[in-house]
């Protein structure tokens, strides 16, 4: 039998057929495989299909043969895992609509066309609040590169005005920091960095960074980040506001125990002080977002100590009340 021009790619086309057209509920026969290959200008006989499938199975692909029917039984990701990934992409504010749709299409290509339809029915990206900065993908790549190379970076930072225009912060100032971690907090992606000039940890929204340039200068702040734990850090920081963490004691209604565990982790100590309340002491960065978080519970969460933090909450409440008078 004369070989066709695509003959050398026969195994790849066969694998493509099994991946896209089969799953546990959908199979193909030897005849159907032969007909599909012929559409790709690949000639084959039934007996060679058996040998080719055996070759793929020996290599490690989970291909099941059932009375002359074949299907791909498992893949790199299960459909349930891909649904989780699709949901994460959809709900991520820092990924633009265009990039979200591209990612979901790529994820959908990893399952059969039948399961792909199940993923496509979950796509509701257009109605979500998304970032308007299309370059965030490349920003993340540049930041990872700088961290892997142990280098500092420079960049400019902007904010949106009411006209939906980019306004550069501090008249286009060039920021220089040492990047140490990326954190997903409050539905946004942040760079956690060390500012040598200010000798402090600073955060920046990745989607608001432009002109990121890796500098061939070794990162600083190694001692500060020697025992850095992003999970602990995210529990302490509200709205990614910078500041010095301090111990704060809260008096909480017992029905909020689950809320406190969700926020601070299940390793916190909750001391019962009455039939209705408990106290816990946590290390947090005292900032407007933290104070606002306390306020949302009304009188069910109270700051017991330190007094300085109580005073900050009172000042915030007074400013809010005065704005309505």
Which residues, including other chains, have CB under 8 Å from residue 110's CB and lie 6 or more apart? 75, 76, 77, 82
CA 73, 76, 77, 79 dihedral sign is: negative
The torsion defined by the Cα of 85, 87, 92 and 98, in degrees rounded to 10, comes to 90
Query: What pLDDT score does 241 carry?
Result: 66
Structure tokens given for 32: 């159907």
pLDDT, tens only, 173-223: 999 999 998 887 666 788 989 998 888 888 898 888 999 999 999 999 988
CA 79, 81, 86, 91 dihedral sign is: positive
CA-angle at 246, arms to 240 and 247, nearest 5°: 120
Calpha distance 7→29 (Å, rounded): 20
| pTM of the model as a whole | 0.58
Which residues, including other chains, have CB under 8 Å from residue 97's CB and lie 6 or more apart? 125, 126, 128, 130
Query: What pLDDT score does 228 carry?
Result: 75
Query: What pLDDT score does 239 carry?
Result: 59
Is residue 144 within 8 Å of 191, Cβ to Cβ? no
């Amino acid at each position: 039998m004369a070989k066709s021009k695509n003959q050398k790619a026969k195994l790849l086309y066969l694998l493509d057929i099994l991946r896209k057209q089969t799953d546990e509920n959908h199979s193909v026969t030897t005849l159907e495989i032969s007909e599909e290959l012929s559409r790709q200008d690949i000639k084959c006989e039934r007996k060679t299909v058996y040998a080719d499938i055996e070759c793929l199975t020996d290599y490690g692909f989970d291909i099941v043969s059932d009375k002359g029917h074949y299907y791909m039984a498992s893949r790199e990701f299960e459909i349930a895992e891909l649904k989780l990934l699709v949901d994460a992409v959809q709900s991520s504010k820092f990924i633009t609509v265009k990039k979200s749709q591209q990612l979901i299409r790529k994820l959908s290509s990893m399952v059969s066309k039948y399961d792909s339809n199940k993923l496509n029915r979950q796509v509701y990206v257009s109605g979500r609040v998304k970032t308007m900065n299309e370059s965030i993908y490349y920003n993340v790549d540049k930041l990872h590169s700088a961290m892997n190379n142990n280098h500092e970076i420079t960049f400019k930072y902007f904010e949106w005005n009411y006209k939906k225009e980019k306004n550069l912060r501090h008249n286009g100032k060039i920021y220089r920091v040492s990047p140490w971690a990326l954190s997903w907090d409050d539905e946004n992606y942040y760079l956690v960095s060390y500012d040598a000039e200010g000798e402090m940890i600073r955060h920046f929204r990745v989607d608001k960074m432009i002109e990121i340039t890796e500098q061939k200068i070794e990162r600083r702040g190694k001692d500060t980040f020697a025992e850095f734990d992003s999970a602990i850090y995210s529990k302490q920081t509200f709205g990614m506001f910078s500041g010095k963490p301090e111990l704060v004691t809260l008096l909480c209604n017992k029905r909020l125990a689950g809320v406190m565990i969700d926020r601070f982790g299940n390793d916190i100590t909750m001391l019962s002080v009455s039939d209705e309340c408990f106290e816990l002491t946590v290390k947090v960065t005292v900032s407007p977002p933290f104070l606002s978080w306390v306020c949302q519970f009304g009188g069910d969460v109270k700051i017991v100590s330190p007094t300085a933090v109580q005073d900050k909450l009172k000042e915030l409440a007074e400013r809010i009340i005065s704005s309505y008078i």
